[in-house]
Structure 1
Amino acid sequence: MGKPEGIFARDFEWDHLARFAELTVDYPRLGVVSGRRRLGKTYLLEALAERTGGLYFGATEATETESLALFAAAFGDHFGAPAAVRFDNWDQAIQALFAADPGRGPFIIDEFPYLSRVSPALPSIVQREIDRAASAHRGINLLLCGSAMSVMGRLLAGDAPLRGRANLELVLRPFEYWLARDFWGIDDPRLAFLVHAVVGGTPAYRRFVDNESPRSVDDFDDWVLRTVLNPGRPLLREARYLLGEDLDVRDSALYHSVLAAVAIGNSTRGRIANYVGRKVTDIGHHLTVLEDSGLLHRRQDVFRSGRPTYHVAEPLVRFYQVVMRAQWGPVESGRGKSVWASSRAQFASQIVGPHFEQVCRDFALWAPPELYGELPGEIGAGVVSDHSRRTQIEIDVVVLAAGPPGRRRKILSLGEAKWGEVMGRRHVERLERARRLLARDYDTSETILACYSGVGFEPDLDPAVLTIGLDDLYAVAR
């Protein structure tokens, strides 16, 4: 089943959904699809239902009675019921769904968390009917979908009723940085990176600004004012809404404070707790919810176990926390130009710099294996302690080989990433020092030193040093 023309990229996701929908067997099959709002999940599912003749039902925030009425109407329309369909409870509704002729297409229930929040027994009812259908050798393809990531993540976890019943678990993620460049139609890699540092790879954000991309690097500042800092554009308030869309978030004040702490560089639990004025034990749940919601990313130091750091995963949220949140009044009243002028330094240091480091790690993940000598087993960042000099060396891009436990692990590459610096001998010397220190515990015999820069490199660099510029970063998947 070919992918519809209007769907950009998403080949992997469409292939798995199409295979799930087309397979006809004599047993029930369950698929779980999740992904934050604005990623095009509903667009994909509606296209799948249209192509296959399946039933699509998109739930809304409503009482159980209203949700049942809406589902009954969708059920009746799909099956051409001669009279209005009525369900008194979800027990009746799900039994009717499993008893119906599935035809060619799957049954799709979108925004399932809206239903399970007001009807907590619903997952158990679905589980019971799956088991009954399996015993009766009755085939049905059911897709449960949702945007509340923490809720969807628990649907198949632990002792949840549906654990062990799924045949498909698909998570939609933002476009990779090079795909986002194509999606926005930007040729200049520098401009593409700056746009990605603000809006990331969320496809709906282009629609939020009427498909307007900046015309050039010189137009970037004006584009920010016309779009993200424009009170007349929905993108202005989007970051404030993202938290509220996760059903596990009630009081958002502390969550926003935690995000603000991380966005400005407080990456450890202790520093986050100190910034928000709470004990470390008081913020554990909040960090977990933000991780499950896809707004925070926890990264382990590859050289020191048990020392995780936290980073804002969604660029627009980081932009809001660094640039907009502290000056929300002036931004909302239309004084975005003054706010942007006063925030340019923070944008460069707290947004663009860290974002460049992450893009370089993403590049290492997708680069051809021969670039680093072999297929990487792990990519991350780490800190090397230099005890003799009483200092620490931060390594932005660490590429480790896969290796069996008990043997010295091979380091394929150590890299430093600088967005705004011409990289030269002093950067390489730091990496050389780190390589010598790491040789005590790791195999560094073939470690490649790498410099990643947004502005260029000194001409006399050792040719053995790997140099990766913006053109190289954006050529990774072409």
Structure 2
Amino acid sequence: MTFHDRVDELDALESAFESPGHAFHVVYGRRRVGKSELLKRFCADRPHVYFLAAQEAEERQREKFTERVAAHFDDRVPRVEGWDDAFAYLGEKLTDERLVVVIDEFPYLVEGNDSIPSYLQSFVDEQLSDTESMLVLCGSSVSTMESTVLGHESPLYGRRTGQIDLEPFSFTEAREVIDYDFEDTVRSYAITGGTPMYLLQFDYTQSLATNVREQILTPSAVLYNEPEFLLRTELRNPARYLSILEAIATGHTTPNEIAGATGIDSGPLSKYLQTLRRLRLVDREVPVTASAKQSKRSRYGVADEFLRFWFRFVEPNRSSIHEVPGVVYEGTIEPALPDHVSRTFERVCRETVWEAVRSGVLDPYSEVGRWWYGEDEIDIVGLHSADDRILLAECKWTAEPVGHALVDSLRATADHVRWGTPDRSERFALFSRSGFTDGLRAELGDDWSLFGPEAISTLVSAELSNPDR
């Protein structure tokens, strides 16, 4: 996989290694986000031992780990009876050389022996802490990493010197990879999302339609079966999870709607949704003005843009894709793509708000999210309690310029948002793919900000957002 970006994460790892004393870093995140590539890049010009764990017998894993350590030091492989012996052997060798030791897919080791965190605790306390070396534990099972390494009850709790929760690329970051014009970049991001592996499957010298046909709608392509493979890797019985994700991706976002679409009762459904949230495949959202813990107005969304696309367009049409993939694209996907992209455009606009705040184009806001109540909904609402200031914004991915109708609608809906005092300071913003009707900008007051495609593109450009890159 080609390596892109991750400048901040590389800097953090390099700073930890160069600092005096030992380092113990934890790197975790969803599958396919590039954790292994990040660590390989970090290790490339440093003395290191890189061990990739696998789902195999504990004894064989231990033998392989010891062999990797011995090979680095050109040493004869010692006989070890347990993981305590294996880590003790590593500790002896670290007295002679400053080294980066990476254990990738660490959860696989814990599956084979849940005492390994205790053995590592002894290793960190009694041997690593007296060296200038660095230990990195890496894993794709976020729940395992958070419980067995970072959790309060873990033997390793409090011993890490740093951690990196690696996330998919934001739209701003993904633009460095997606080589299309702004509109097609938004469309492409709505299909691949920000997961590096998915982004890099596309050939950006080809049209977006060609990429979708060849890289997603071709049964032999990597992305065709990727979501199902991902779920089977994480879950023993993924059938119900597949049906839940398809329901959410096709517009059933409340618990009642999901239950109705899947036939799963509310009790079991709650547990399935919790698991999907833990795997970072589903997000739970409440109105930005509500309490996340107390609100009952929750909606669920597929957290990854590619999974949202796949469960909306690929999973329900597999039989047709095998027979007539071109017809599926032209007859099913292409007509519905604007609606699919519109939700992604909202995310891009939300990112634009934060960039506008950072650059001083907009006033500061401490919370930014969606708001809804009954039939009323506003795409973006920003809150700043200290100044009693609220931002109310709409995003339109339409082929026609935005005009007074949206202005009037937003003003009317704003009155229904219960937040702040009656004298709160209100700011408004419109985001439009196709710009605005003639004269609209001049007719609105200073409390309105209009962002057309050029303004959005400029604000979310990597150069502006990350001037040091």
TM-score (norm 2): 0.89
Output aligned runs, 1:365-376, within 5 Å.
365-369=354-358, 371=360, 373-376=362-365
Q: How does 1:369-388 map to 2 (within 5 A)?
A: 369=358, 371=360, 373-384=362-373
1:320 and 2:303 correspond: no
Tell me how far apart the structure 1 counterparts of residues 438 and 24 of structure 2 sit (CA, whole Å): 58
Distance 1:270 1:349, change over 3 A: farther
Residue 357 of structure 1 contacts residue 417 of structure 1 at CA under 8 Å; is this kept in 2?
A: yes
Amino acid at match of 1:239: P
1:329 equivalent in alignment to 2:281 = no
Could you say if the C-alpha distance between residues 339 and 169 of structure 1 is closer, same or farther in structure 2, counting changes exceeding 3 Å?
A: same
Report the counterpart of residue 455 of structure 2 in structure 1: 472
- Alpha-carbon deviations, 1:332-376, whole Å to 9, x = none? x25211222232367436521211112211221222446564322
CA separation in 1, counterparts of 2:18 and 2:285?
38
Q: 1:418 aligns with which of 371, 396, 404?
A: 396
Residue of structure 2 aligned with 1:295, choices 281, 285, 295: 281
State the Cα RMSD in Å.
2.4
Shift of 1:144: 0.2
Alignment map for 1:11-22 (pairs within 5 Å): 11-22=7-18
Q: CA deviation at 1:70?
A: 1.3
Q: In structure 2, what is the equivalent of residue 105 of structure 1?
A: 99
Query: C-alpha deviations, 1:114-158, integer Å up to 9, x for none?
Result: 111111111122123323348x74554211001122222323124
Letter in 1 for 2:153: D
Percentage of identical aligned residues: 28
CA distances 1:146-204 after superposition (whole Å, capped 9, x unpaired) = 11222223231242222222111101111221221221222x10011111000012222
Look up the equivalent residue of 2:429 and give its one-letter code. Answer: A
**1:440–1:289 CA distance, 2 compared to 1 (3 A):** closer
2:434 maps to: 455
2:109 — aligned with what?
115
Matched, 1:29 2:23: yes
CA pair 442-380 structure 1, distance change in 2 beyond 3 A: farther
Unaligned runs of 5+ in 1: 1-5, 386-391
> What is the match of residue 341 of structure 1?
330
Distance 2:263 2:275 in 1: 19
For the 8 Å contact 1:34–1:152, the answer to whether it is kept is yes
Tell me if structure 1 keeps the 8 A contact 2:98–2:133. no
Q: Which amino acid aligns with 1:396?
A: D
Shift, 1:277, TM fit: 1.3
Aligned to 1:213: 204
> Retained in 1: the 8 A contact 2:338–2:397?
no
What secondary structure sits across from 2:415 in the alignment? Answer: helix
CA contact (8 A) 1:110 1:144 kept: yes
Structure 1 CA distance for aligned equivalents of residues 413 and 373 of structure 2: 6
**Could you tell me how far apart the structure 2 residues matched to 1:59 and 1:377 are?**
41
Name the structure 2 match of 1:389. none
Whole-angstrom CA distance in 1 between matches of 2:116 and 2:218: 42
Q: CA deviation at 1:440?
A: 6.7
Q: For 1:205 and 1:415, locate their aligned partners in 2 and report how far apart those are by CA, in whole Å.
A: 31
How many angstroms apart in 2 are the aligned matches of 1:300 and 1:158? Answer: 28
Aligned match of 1:282: 268
| Distance of 1:12 and 1:161 partners within structure 2 | 29
Q: Which moved more, 1:224-233 or 1:429-438?
A: 429-438
Post-superposition Cα deviations, 1:70-103, rounded to whole Å, max 9, x if no partner, equal 111111111211x223433212112222333163
Task: Name the CA shift for 1:87/1:273 in 2 (closer, same or farther; >3 Å).
Answer: farther
Matched, 1:124 2:118: yes
- Determine which of 202, 226, 239 is the counterpart of 2:214: 226
What is the CA–CA distance in structure 1 between the aligned matches of 2:101 and 2:452, rounded to whole Å?
47
Shift in alpha-carbon separation, 1:352–1:89, aligned structure 2, 3 A: same
Amino acid at match of 1:94: F
Asked if 1:164 is matched to 2:158, the reply is: yes
For residues 241 and 123 of structure 1, the distance between their equivalents in structure 2, rounded to whole angstroms, comes to 29
Pick one of 39, 49, 70 that aligns with 2:33: 39
Matches within 5 A, 1:136-155: 137-138=130-131, 140-154=133-147, 155=149
Aligned residue type for 1:183: V
Structure 2: distance between partners of 1:92 and 1:436: 68
- CA 282–372 in structure 1, closer or farther in 2 if over 3 Å, else same: farther
The answer as to whether partners of 2:385 and 2:420 remain within 8 angstroms in 1 is no
Deviation at 1:393, TM superposition (A): 2.0
The 5 A counterparts of 1:2-17 are 7-17=3-13
Contact persistence 1:396–1:417 (CA under 8 A): yes
1:384 to 1:432, Cα distance in 2 relative to 1, 3 A: farther
Asked if 1:243 corresponds to 2:231, the answer is yes
Determine helix, strand or coil for the equivalent of 1:184. coil
**In structure 2, which of residues 239, 246, 257 is the aligned counterpart of residue 271 of structure 1?**
257
Structure 2 residue identity aligned to 1:18: E
Give matches, 1:347-358, under 5 Å. 347-348=336-337, 351-358=340-347
Pairwise CA distance, 1:244: 2.7
Q: Tell me the equivalent position of 1:3.
A: none
Q: Give the aligned partner of residue 90 of structure 1.
A: 83
Q: SS of the counterpart of 1:451?
A: strand
How many matched pairs? 449
* Matches of 1:122 and 1:299, distance apart in 2: 37
Cα distance in 2 for partners of 1:322, 1:337 equals: 17
The Cα of 1:42 is off from its aligned counterpart by 1.1
Contact 1:416–1:451 (CA under 8 A) maintained in structure 2: yes
1:428 paired to 2:407: yes
Residues 21, 105 of structure 1: 8 Å contact kept? no
Of 295, 301, 304, 1:311 maps to: 301
Distance 1:452 1:204 in 2: 30
